Amino acid sequence: MAVNFHNLNAASGLQKLNDYLLTRSYITGYQASKDDISVYSALATSPSADYVNVARWYNHIDALLKLCGISEEGKGVKIESSASVVEEAPSPAIDDKKGPAADDDDDMDLFGEETEEEKKAAEERAAAVKASGKKKESGKSSVLLDVKPWDDETDMQKLEEVVRSVKMEGLLWGASKLAPVGYGIKKLQIMMTIVDDLVSVDNLIEDYLLVEPANEYIQSCDIVAFNKI
């Protein structure tokens, strides 16, 4: 059964989500799913620490997306009116002295409804915002790399420093760990988030990680996982 949330960017919506997550680790089920991604994407910004349960859940989902992505289908979630909410300003009074003639029905609606021109302009603005949002969301990927040393005498701390020393626009290094390979040798597993249009993972490996001075420590580098965010 789908779960419904309303106005997630308003205080009332965040409080309801905070109460909902008081006894839950995820939006539905017992593991992260696409329902969590839907709610995560609906939040305009990282939630305030005042909403302790939402902040805990948000940071956990953010880390999972950066680490390996989420593929579980979920049970369904419905989110309504998640746009940022601001305090409504009072409608300005109509000045009869400055306004158009009372019999000009085409230009002014006496009951406060939008004119056709205003509706069309609002629809165009909404379409532009939606299009730019989709473009932004589809432009990032989460990548997991396996970086293998030459032998068991390679300084793995120095190896990781060499990897993280690679800096470029659109590249953000994430969590890492050492994993055993065999015969006392360990490999570095490291996450990175990239902007697809700015960073090519293949070029990053060939032009930065398998050339001097990095190749003094790195024997090979492989892509283990590649997920769109």
CATH number at residue 159: 3.30.70.60
Rounded (5°) CA angle 224-67-217: 55
pLDDT score for 174: 92
Where among 39, 63, 80 does a domain terminate?
Answer: 80
The reply to whether 211 falls in a domain is yes
Residue 130's pLDDT band, with cuts at 50, 70 and 90, is: low
The reply to whether 95 falls in a domain is no
Q: Distances from the Cα of 207 to the Cαs of 58, 141, 156, 227, in angstroms?
A: 35, 20, 21, 22
- Provide the domain limits for residue 10: 3-80
Determine the residue type at 172.
L
pTM of the predicted protein model: 0.43
Contact yes or no for 4/78 (Cβ under 8 A):
yes
The reply to whether 221 falls in a domain is yes
- Statement to judge: residues 75 and 144 lie in one domain: no
pLDDT score for 99: 46
In this prediction, residues 179-204 reach a mean pLDDT of: 91
Q: What mean pLDDT value characterizes the chain?
A: 79
The reply to whether 63 falls in a domain is yes
Query: Above 90 in pLDDT, residue 36?
Result: no
In this prediction, residues 200-209 reach a mean pLDDT of: 93
Q: Of 8-22, 30-44, 187-201, where does mean pLDDT reach its minimum?
A: 30-44
pLDDT digits (tens, 9 = 90+) for 170-179: 999 999 999 9
pLDDT digits (tens, 9 = 90+) for 3-18: 888 888 889 989 999 9
Residue 180's pLDDT band, with cuts at 50, 70 and 90, is: very high
pLDDT score for 189: 94
Where among 62, 80, 98 does a domain terminate?
Answer: 80
The reply to whether 213 falls in a domain is yes
113 versus 228: the higher-pLDDT residue is 228
The reply to whether 107 falls in a domain is no
The reply to whether 124 falls in a domain is no
The total domain count for the chain is 2
Where among 31, 49, 80 does a domain terminate?
Answer: 80
The reply to whether 113 falls in a domain is no
pLDDT digits (tens, 9 = 90+) for 57-109: 999 888 888 776 565 556 666 666 544 443 444 444 444 444 444 444 444 44
- Statement to judge: residues 153 and 74 lie in one domain: no
| E-assigned strand segments in the chain | 3-6, 77-80, 140-149, 171-182, 185-195, 218-228
